[in-house]
Structure 1
Amino acid sequence: MRKSKLMVFIISVVVMSLLMVWDMPKVFDNINLGLDLQGGFEIVYEVSPLDGKSEIPEMSAVSKSISKRIDVLGVNEPSIMIEGENRIRVQLAGVQDQDQARRILSSTANMSFRDVNDNLLMDATVIKEGGATLAFQNGIPVVSLKIADQDKFYEVTKELATRGEGKNLIVTWLDFEEGVDSYAKEMEKVAKGEEPAYVSAASVREGINGDAVISGNFTDESARELADLINSGSLPVKMNELYSNVVSAELGEGAYEKTMIAGIIGYIAVVIFMIAMYRLPGVISAFMLFIYLWAVLKVYNLMGGVFTLPGIAALVMGAGMTVDANVITFERIKDELYKGRSVKKAFEEGSQMAFSSIFDSQFTTLIAALVMYWLGTGSVKGFATMLMITIVGTLLITVQVVKFLLGLLVSSGWLDNKKTWFGVSAKHLPDVAKGEERKYFGKFHNVDFMAIFKKVSLLPVAILVIAVAMGVFNSVSGNGFLNLGIDFASGTKITVQSDAPLTVDAIEDKFEEFGYQVSRVQLSGDNNEMASVSIKEVIETEDMYELKEALEAEYGYEPSDSVVTPVVGRELVRNALMACAVAWVAMLAYISFRFKFDYAISCIITLMHDVLLILAIYAIFRIEVESTLVAVVLSIIGYSINSSIVTFDRVREILDGKENAKNPKEYYKTVVNEALRNTGERSLITTITTALPLIALIFLGSPSITGFNTSMLVGILAGAFSSLFLAAPIWYTFRVNKKPTQKKQKNVKKLDEPTEINVPGINS
């Protein structure tokens, strides 16, 4: 029996290991990188009806039309997201030619044939579907058109041929606008040597009975692009650009490689730490951490998910929570061993008692993730998707499989006399045979958390006061309460590339020559040969042309640029705030159901503290607020609620329905202290295991995400502080000030004389 359990354990580990090693390269090869990691082009459009129409068609139909346009660009795995009633966000990873992408996406491609007086002769319905192709006449590229309605085409061209010289032209237009475009106006441009807005203007000598060609000043590429655009069909709407952003491919590749290496180093540090703390269970936990990461990435790939910085945040947080689930279980097992239990009994009791904490904390975070997915857009939705996968992975893979593997070893009897293999010290274990009782109660046994609360409770208040004071001062000075990045204020992003290493000072000096104040310079590449420059000012077209010419002359490469409007950034924050508010209400309801209302309101206050503290740090140190802050805030909400629930689960366990009416303040103070002493070590370990990957990412990862990871680390520390020193003491404040409910007593008739009780069979 014992040998069979060990054999099952060995076979299970070998099978899972082989499966992971065999499939992991495929998983990494199939990861779809987002713009912030791979580079590319992102653009947000506001959709409006075409002239003469009062309503826009179904957004799904618009999305399909845009998808056909993207096929022209040859982009794999594009992201097209419908946001609200009239917005579409398009993300094209790997695309760098923003002018071509913008031209193809926004063009309605409404083809028309007109005369020199701009009268409509025919529209695109005379052309066969997919009938436009690249062709050559005398070695010159043209666009060949297969005509569907040849009779109509012949009649129109026959009539044109009868007009006089100069008036017998058939003018081909794309996206002709009444009252704006005209052939006469474009001819003035041609006279000046400028390119006309129309596609071509051809003389018609006789009726054309058959296919036709569009000739002009085409290159092979431009002729092919026009043919593809015609074949993709016309857009049934107008597309007004609200926001665009170009991310350098080199920047993205560097960020991805460095992030992966730093992440691996961070997780190796977690593995070493877990083994040092828990010995054999730590080894199993470390093994399952890699299985867990493989499984989560595998599922995310199968779902077609795009890996972005918020996705990394959710993955890091999810890994922290999955380690936390093991820490909760292992700490419970150690606690039972310190009571003198056998290994088998300690494993059974510890696993059973840990599950309620794990389930409640994970399920509460899942509620938040579901709400964020439901109400969020863009990066918020991506973050929520990854977070949901990690939560399900924690509950199904980590908790159950670790329990299964460790259970096999325990039930085999191999660990009966190896209690120290669980990370406990032999000197702390009582000898039950000699009648010894528990003699070790943990590292925090003598810590008075309630006394610490009184000392540190003013610290966050002081930080918030300083932040408000500095914010008001900066607002009065004209710098804004927060240092908003151009995601939340109009501005321009320019990417500069050079063969030689770049410096921040040199870039700033160069832009100052043109009178532009640079708000942020982000260097990247192996030798800092790339620079992403942010300017809180929209540069006009003529000025941009002059600036780009100067930068190309200076550095040898044409820079890319994009204009950012605050509409999308502000809407992202608005949606995130709404998602947070609804998530808090949902969590309030669940925690009230599973615990009580005072537990729930304490959790929400703690979450608000964490969010405000992060914003306060941004205000005090004038850290630039970018859209990635949304992912940071969402991460901390999930992390903090997870930690607070674990503490409150221990409070509930200690209370177990018991109340002390004689001295409730002292009683509840004792309860809070005992709960925090029991869970304090777990909170500390979880903070360390979550912080280690972040520290590795900060010091070893790409500089492009250092600010993001630093904000995450600050948030993790804020969440650890609040779960240790604020959540339970706030609950204590609510509980001791709670008015006891008076139970109604039935009116009992007072009897003057004792009444005889009739008992059947005795006196009746």
Structure 2
Amino acid sequence: MKGRSKSKSLTLFVLCIIAIISLAFAGFKGFVVAGWEFKSFDKAITKGLDLQGGVSVLMEIQEDDVSYDVRQRTKQLLELRVNKIGVAETVVTEEGDKRIRIDIPGAYDSNEIVESLSKTGNLEFKDADGNVVLTGKDIEKATSILDDTSSPVVSLELNDEGQSKFAEVTANNIGKTISIYMDDELVSSPVVQSTITNGKAVINGMSSMDEATKLAGIISSGALPVTIKAVSTESVGAQLGSEALPNALKAGAIGVGLIFLFMIVYYRLPGIFASIALTLYITLLLIVFAEMRVALTLPGIAAFLLTIGMAVDANILIFERIREELTKGISIKSAVKAGFENAMSSIVDSNSTTFIAALILYFIGSGSVKGFAVTLMIGIILSLFTALIVTKVLINLAVDIGLLKNLGQFRVKRGAKNA
């Protein structure tokens, strides 16, 4: 029975080690299976503005006493608007009650971005008498295409209500113009040739495909419920970002390497198991970043390294408690159990206070401070998991299979007693 138990523990121990190493290798190197690519962390994780350059625009709502729902709707429309004009991986955050910051990683024209964001997006169709016959609410879809003459245009598809309205309007205005206005600015004034019943219209007069794409994006995102104005625009050079990322990664690698070295030299074999658990922690944290599309920034990297330190601190508390129990002369298995139990309250308390501080930073901070807080909170949760569960499982399995059976492996001298 004992042999079968030891064999089972050995199998679980080996599987755990292989799984952790394989997951870490896949994450840092990536792989391709049957045409499906598992992207490496370098490709999968969104890099923030300070790591790859780009534009940061702070928009301010001009109206007073705007409700929370209106602010959220404005935020969503701004994010949709930016993404519709071909800009991906944007980070849109609120700053106070009236300001919204849009961070756009990559090399983009800040003037065009500000112009697109500042437009209210109020689309109107007016007949020859100046009466509004259709609005942006009647539009189902707007796309930029090339027409039969290879000229860039914006193709509009109307919803059911808009389609019936447009059919009636075009039937009553054959030979007359129906002007299309965006924010009271005339963008097109086509002449109605026949009744249009298919619910499709075209805005022409675009000077380039980029202009058509931008206009289509604004129309698709819908009209903003409030008036907004750009109060500041900052551009981060790509050179700064290209230099910052390698330096940050190098510093992080050196820091993590020194932590692993300390744990192994000072705590010996248990330190190796703790380093394996920390490897899993780092891998899981980066996977969460990739899946949640968290934008990794320099403050985020700082928070990432800080949580590694906290995870190490948890392991140190556990190992020191185990050593205290061993000096009492109890068995290694009992000491390991008591060590984890005695260290848990200290670990949970210290991490809880840090988590509360991170929450406060998130709600009252802005921009990079929020990024720091988010990274810190995610890291704390995962560090508790790896320290209290993964390290515990590895240490217990190592004891069961006989890898940890000598007091010297815990840096405890035989016969040592507490004073």
TM over 0.5, yes or no? Answer: yes
Q: Is the 8 A contact 1:142 1:218 kept in 2?
A: no
Deviation of the 1:217 alpha carbon:
6.6
* Partner amino acid, structure 2, of 1:317: L
| SS of aligned partner of 1:108 | coil
What is aligned with 1:152?
A: 169
Deviation of the 1:348 alpha carbon:
3.9
Whole-angstrom distance in 1 between the partners of 2:126 and 2:11:
82
Q: Work out which of the residue numbers 112, 125, 132 in structure 1 matches 2:135.
A: 125
Q: Is the 8 A contact 2:407 2:414 kept in 1?
A: no
What is aligned with 1:15?
A: 19
C-alpha change, 1:230 and 1:13, in structure 2 (3 Å) is closer
* Partner amino acid, structure 2, of 1:209: S
| SS of aligned partner of 1:317 | helix
* Partner amino acid, structure 2, of 1:174: M
Q: Is the 8 A contact 1:339 1:430 kept in 2?
A: no
After superposition, the C-alpha distances for 1:105-157 in whole angstroms (9 at most, x for unaligned) are: 221232346799xx844365297533565444655445566784244346457
| SS of aligned partner of 2:92 | strand
- Does the alignment pair 1:103 with 2:115? yes
Deviation of the 1:376 alpha carbon:
3.9
C-alpha change, 1:151 and 1:95, in structure 2 (3 Å) is farther
C-alpha change, 1:324 and 1:216, in structure 2 (3 Å) is same
- Does the alignment pair 1:279 with 2:296? no
| SS of aligned partner of 1:96 | coil
- Does the alignment pair 1:323 with 2:312? yes
Whole-angstrom distance in 2 between the partners of 1:67 and 1:210:
37
Structure 2 unaligned regions, length at least 5: 31-38
Deviation of the 1:79 alpha carbon:
2.5
Mean Cα displacement is larger for which, 276-285 or 75-84? 75-84
Counting aligned pairs with the same residue, the percent is 36
- Does the alignment pair 1:75 with 2:90? no
Mean Cα displacement is larger for which, 31-40 or 241-250? 241-250
Q: Is the 8 A contact 1:96 1:246 kept in 2?
A: no
Q: Is the 8 A contact 1:132 1:230 kept in 2?
A: no
| SS of aligned partner of 2:342 | helix
Q: Is the 8 A contact 2:126 2:179 kept in 1?
A: yes
- Does the alignment pair 1:220 with 2:209? yes
- Does the alignment pair 1:34 with 2:15? no
C-alpha change, 1:224 and 1:13, in structure 2 (3 Å) is closer
Q: Work out which of the residue numbers 394, 403, 407 in structure 2 matches 1:419.
A: 407
| SS of aligned partner of 2:89 | coil
* Partner amino acid, structure 2, of 1:106: S
C-alpha change, 1:423 and 1:289, in structure 2 (3 Å) is same
What is aligned with 1:558?
A: none
What is aligned with 2:235?
A: 246
Whole-angstrom distance in 1 between the partners of 2:66 and 2:401:
71
- Does the alignment pair 1:398 with 2:387? yes
Deviation of the 1:369 alpha carbon:
2.6
Deviation of the 1:208 alpha carbon:
4.0
C-alpha change, 1:231 and 1:383, in structure 2 (3 Å) is closer
Output the aligned Cα RMSD: 3.5
The 5 A counterparts of 1:252-651 are 252-338=241-327, 342-416=331-405, 418-424=406-412, 429=413, 431=415
Whole-angstrom distance in 1 between the partners of 2:361 and 2:215:
41
- Does the alignment pair 1:44 with 2:70? no
Q: Is the 8 A contact 2:110 2:235 kept in 1?
A: yes
After superposition, the C-alpha distances for 1:179-224 in whole angstroms (9 at most, x for unaligned) are: xxxxxxxxxxxxxxxxxx753567x6xx643466555471233234
What is aligned with 1:733?
A: none
Mean Cα displacement is larger for which, 275-284 or 65-74? 65-74
| SS of aligned partner of 1:357 | helix
Structure 1 unaligned regions, length at least 5: 161-169, 177-196, 440-764
C-alpha change, 1:348 and 1:114, in structure 2 (3 Å) is closer
- Does the alignment pair 1:175 with 2:194? no
* Partner amino acid, structure 1, of 2:74: V
What is aligned with 1:65?
A: 77
| SS of aligned partner of 1:279 | helix
Deviation of the 1:345 alpha carbon:
4.8
After superposition, the C-alpha distances for 1:48-78 in whole angstroms (9 at most, x for unaligned) are: 35xxx99677223323332331232223333
What is aligned with 1:209?
A: 194
Aligned residues: 393
| SS of aligned partner of 2:140 | strand
After superposition, the C-alpha distances for 1:267-293 in whole angstroms (9 at most, x for unaligned) are: 112111211111111111111111111
| SS of aligned partner of 1:103 | helix
| SS of aligned partner of 2:83 | helix
Deviation of the 1:27 alpha carbon:
5.4
* Partner amino acid, structure 1, of 2:52: Q
Q: Is the 8 A contact 1:154 1:208 kept in 2?
A: no
* Partner amino acid, structure 2, of 1:323: V
Whole-angstrom distance in 1 between the partners of 2:105 and 2:62:
26
What is aligned with 1:650?
A: none
Q: Is the 8 A contact 1:27 1:297 kept in 2?
A: no
Whole-angstrom distance in 2 between the partners of 1:430 and 1:71:
66
Whole-angstrom distance in 2 between the partners of 1:385 and 1:54:
28
C-alpha change, 1:154 and 1:283, in structure 2 (3 Å) is same
Deviation of the 1:406 alpha carbon:
1.6
* Partner amino acid, structure 1, of 2:79: S
| SS of aligned partner of 2:376 | helix
After superposition, the C-alpha distances for 1:445-481 in whole angstroms (9 at most, x for unaligned) are: xxxxxxxxxxxxxxxxxxxxxxxxxxxxxxxxxxxxx
C-alpha change, 1:415 and 1:66, in structure 2 (3 Å) is closer
| SS of aligned partner of 1:32 | coil
Whole-angstrom distance in 2 between the partners of 1:369 and 1:344:
37
| SS of aligned partner of 1:300 | helix
Whole-angstrom distance in 1 between the partners of 2:349 and 2:149:
75
Whole-angstrom distance in 2 between the partners of 1:289 and 1:44:
38
Whole-angstrom distance in 1 between the partners of 2:388 and 2:155:
64
Deviation of the 1:328 alpha carbon:
1.4
Q: Is the 8 A contact 1:130 1:232 kept in 2?
A: no
Deviation of the 1:438 alpha carbon:
5.4
| SS of aligned partner of 2:62 | strand
What is aligned with 2:35?
A: none
| SS of aligned partner of 1:92 | strand
What is aligned with 2:34?
A: none
Whole-angstrom distance in 2 between the partners of 1:144 and 1:371:
47
Deviation of the 1:390 alpha carbon:
1.8
* Partner amino acid, structure 2, of 1:130: K
C-alpha change, 1:356 and 1:209, in structure 2 (3 Å) is same
Whole-angstrom distance in 1 between the partners of 2:212 and 2:311:
55
Whole-angstrom distance in 1 between the partners of 2:144 and 2:418:
85
What is aligned with 1:707?
A: none
Q: Is the 8 A contact 1:39 1:250 kept in 2?
A: yes
Based on CA coordinates, which of the two structures has the bigger radius of gyration? 1
TM-score (norm 2): 0.79
